[in-house]
Amino acid sequence: MLSEIAFYGAVETGLIYGLVAFGIYISFRVLDFPDLTVDGSFPLGAAVAAILIINGWNPWIATGAAIVAGMAAGAVTAILNVKLKILNLLASILTMIALYSVNLRIMGRPNLALLTEETVLTPWYDLDLAYHQVPVLLFIIVVVVALILLWRFMKSETGLAMRATGANPRMARAQGIATGAMIILGVAVSNGLVGLAGALFAQSQGAADVTMGVGVIVIGLASLIGGEAVITPSTVMRALLACVFGAIIYRLAIAFALNADVLGLQAQDLNLITAVLVTLAIVLPGVRSSVIAKFTRNKA
Amino acid sequence: MAKRTLRTLIGASLLAAASLVQAEEPRVVAITQIVEHPALDAVYQGVKDELAEQGYKEGENLTVMHESAQGNSAIASQIARKFVGDSPDVIVAIATPSAQTVAAAARNIPVVFSAVTDPVGAKLVKSLEAPGANITGVSDMLPIDKHLDMLQRAVPDAKRIGTVYNPGEANAVSLVNLLEERLAERDLELVKAAATKTSEVLGAARSLVGKADAIYLTTDNTVISAVEAVISVGERADIPVFAADTATVERGAVAALGFNYYNHGRQTGKMVVRILEGASTSDMPVETMDTLDLFVNPAAAERMGISLPDDLIQEAKEVVKSDK
């Protein structure tokens, strides 16, 4: 039903959005900071990587620069919130809108093609693998490295302070944690991951386009919440794994939807389906626990 | 026992039927477009109609797969992978982002792009004359010189030409850059006004009042979606508005030297048919629109303070009569 190429394509896109889900896990789950900056930092990462690659930079260094650019964007949002006391959601919307112009400036035009450029993927095509398997292999390595680094970071003293900041800022401050600095660092790391995802996406798709950030936040959230429904995020490791699996499951679901003419589903229904799935995933665990609560109360 | 024989019989006849169908296996054309939008939908319709006219009928000897990415690049990429995996005879990619994702995914399948303004800049082909790989198509690059000839015949003393465009749209930006170049060759000045959303078009058009003697609009999606805003400004401030596509003349622009996305799709369809009949993409240069029709709207011209020369009206394929 699903062709091999479509399957690997879904896994490839899923791995990239797994990085986005990592970022959204940090902002949304760890810091309780709804961050729409990602809709801008995703194309920002793509733009920075693309313009540098076109100007002859090593693609890995260009990708690193995309991470730094994403972190800077996240830091701006967090500083607007922490220092200027702008509501977090609004602060992120402001940065996101500003990034549209910034991205156009960086690229100098709305679409930068990378189809014939040397990217991080180029040397890997020499491996004895099918063309569509190469990005999957490389992105698995990138995601695993990111996962291990994040996992260790979250268990470090700084990581614990960051988690305390999100869980109970007042208590964290009482313990002497500089919560403002933690928010700035966390949102920066989050958007650095999203910038990385944008850079990789542009390189595997053959172009950076200013419009490519549309809806990244919703898809990231859908991946995060969908993954949490499959893997209970009881530990940091499980939460991070949930991000990756959620993102891949989401992409496989879309790949099936593209094939499932039988169900009457078409590509134009995808946005609606995503919204319904996210709503269900947010609401259902609550419903389930209240049902259980009622049941146990009746028993008692 | 009888049941089993019956089952075998049914099975055998099903197999026979399947092999019969296979004897006349339909050709498969997969069409992907980045977003649903009147111009791009017209391209899709044009491709299908051309195929039908040349004897490739859906459901008989042709299967058409069609997906839209709803403006989402990740979905566009998945659509491209799905199509490549299904290995159709030809993949048609409508608009630049869709064409790039298909180009990144397809290695051996012939790809025909459509509604791509700058295929070389988008790195889809090495050159327009010799595309080189498995990709060719139809470019919607406007014949800007012919458009400017028409504009100058209608308003010979216009020195400053205004345009409204979306700086976030790849096609729009390439066209505006080209326009600026070509106007400079004629010693004319381009006055640009940017609108990133349809809601900004009115404000952008107003900013041209006093700075532009005439307005020329390219096929910019954002601007054309809200073109009435530009036309109302043109009528109030007596600035004639010219368009690149004929449909905009019907909506109140003075004149256009026809560009019609449905015909663009028909031309794309012709290339698809040639590939289905054995032609190779590498021998097919990128095409630009070959049919141009002049549409004029004398009533709109009057409302914008000019009167069109009679010879221009006589040349027109269609004289739009709008009496609003």
The number of helix segments (H) and strand segments (E) in chain B equals 13, 13
- Closest CB to B81 among A9, A116, A267: A9
Lowest mean pLDDT among A177-191, B41-55, B147-161, B308-322: B308-322
d(CA A95, CA A62): 22
The position carrying tokens 């990005």 is A135
| Mean pLDDT in residue range B191-196 | 95
Q: What is the tens place of the pLDDT at every residue in A57-76? A: 999 999 999 999 999 999 99
State the best of A19, A42, A54, A115 to mutate against chain B, taking most chain B CBs within 10 Å: A115
| Mean pLDDT in residue range B185-213 | 95
Q: Which residues from A are below 8 Å from B75, CB to CB?
A: 254, 267, 270
pLDDT of A150 over the 90 cut: yes
Q: Which residues from B are below 8 Å from A209, CB to CB?
A: 73, 97, 170
* Cβ pair A211:B107 closer than 8 A: no
> Which pLDDT score, from 0 to 100, does residue B56 have?
95
Q: What is the tens place of the pLDDT at every residue in B128-149? A: 998 878 999 999 888 899 999 9
The packing angle between helices B96-105 and A179-205, to 10°, is 70
pLDDT of A298 over the 60 cut: no
Q: What is the tens place of the pLDDT at every residue in B225-278? A: 899 999 999 999 999 999 998 889 999 999 999 878 899 999 999 999 999 999
Backbone angles phi and psi of A70, in degrees to 5 = -60, -40
> Which pLDDT score, from 0 to 100, does residue B219 have?
87
* Cβ pair A9:B107 closer than 8 A: no
Q: Where are the beta strands (DSSP E) in A136-294?
A: 207-209
B256 and B249 Cβ atoms separated by less than 8 Å: yes
The residues of B whose Cβ lies within 8 A of any Cβ of A are: 36, 67-75, 77-82, 84-86, 96-97, 100-101, 103-105, 107, 121-124, 167-170, 172-174, 196
Q: How buried is residue B264: exposed, middle or buried, by Cβ count under 10 Å (0-12/13-18/19+)?
A: buried
State the best of A1, A2, A5 to mutate against chain B, taking most chain B CBs within 10 Å: A5
Cβ-proximal residues to A91 (8 Å cutoff; 6+ apart), any chain: A77, A78, A80, A81, A84
pLDDT of B197 over the 70 cut: yes
Backbone angles phi and psi of B72, in degrees to 5 = -105, 120
> Which pLDDT score, from 0 to 100, does residue B204 have?
96
For A256, the closest chain B residue by CA position comes to B82
* Cβ pair A109:B174 closer than 8 A: yes
> Which pLDDT score, from 0 to 100, does residue B22 have?
47
* Cβ pair B77:A9 closer than 8 A: yes
**pLDDT, mean over chain A:** 91
CB contacts < 8 A, A to B, total: 133
pLDDT of B8 over the 90 cut: no
> Which pLDDT score, from 0 to 100, does residue B260 have?
84
| Mean pLDDT in residue range A136-149 | 97
> Which pLDDT score, from 0 to 100, does residue B9 have?
56
Q: In this complex, is the C-beta atom of A271 within 8 Å of any C-beta atom belonging to chain B?
A: yes
Q: What is the tens place of the pLDDT at every residue in A31-47? A: 999 999 999 999 999 99
Higher-confidence residue of A54 and B289: namely: A54
| Mean pLDDT in residue range A121-145 | 93
Q: Report the gap between the CA of A212 and the closest CA in chain B (Å).
A: 5
pLDDT of A292 over the 80 cut: no
* Cβ pair B122:A113 closer than 8 A: yes
Say whether pTM exceeds 0.80: yes
> Which pLDDT score, from 0 to 100, does residue A226 have?
87
Q: What is the tens place of the pLDDT at every residue in B67-114? A: 988 888 898 999 999 999 999 999 999 999 999 999 999 988 999 999
* Cβ pair A116:B123 closer than 8 A: yes
Q: Where does the pLDDT of residue B11 fall: very low under 50, low under 70, confident under 90, or very high at 90 and above?
A: low
- Closest CB to B75 among A111, A210, A270: A270
Lowest mean pLDDT among B3-12, B174-183, B300-309: B3-12
pLDDT of B63 over the 80 cut: yes
pLDDT above 70 covers a percentage of chain B that reads: 92
| Mean pLDDT in residue range A152-173 | 95
| Mean pLDDT in residue range B116-125 | 91
> Which pLDDT score, from 0 to 100, does residue A280 have?
77
Q: Which token pair is B274?
A: 């040639």
| Mean pLDDT in residue range A261-280 | 71
Enter the ipTM: 0.84
Q: Report the gap between the CA of A163 and the closest CA in chain B (Å).
A: 31
Q: What is the tens place of the pLDDT at every residue in B278-290? A: 999 988 999 998 7
Q: What is the β-pairing status of strands B62-68 and B214-217? A: unpaired
CA count, 13 A, side-chain hemisphere, A37? 38
Q: Where does the pLDDT of residue A255 fall: very low under 50, low under 70, confident under 90, or very high at 90 and above?
A: confident
pLDDT of B6 over the 50 cut: yes
Q: Which residues from B are below 8 Å from A17, CB to CB?
A: 74
Sign of the Cα torsion B306, B311, B316, B319 reads positive
pLDDT above 70 covers a percentage of chain A that reads: 91
Q: In this complex, is the C-beta atom of A201 within 8 Å of any C-beta atom belonging to chain B?
A: yes
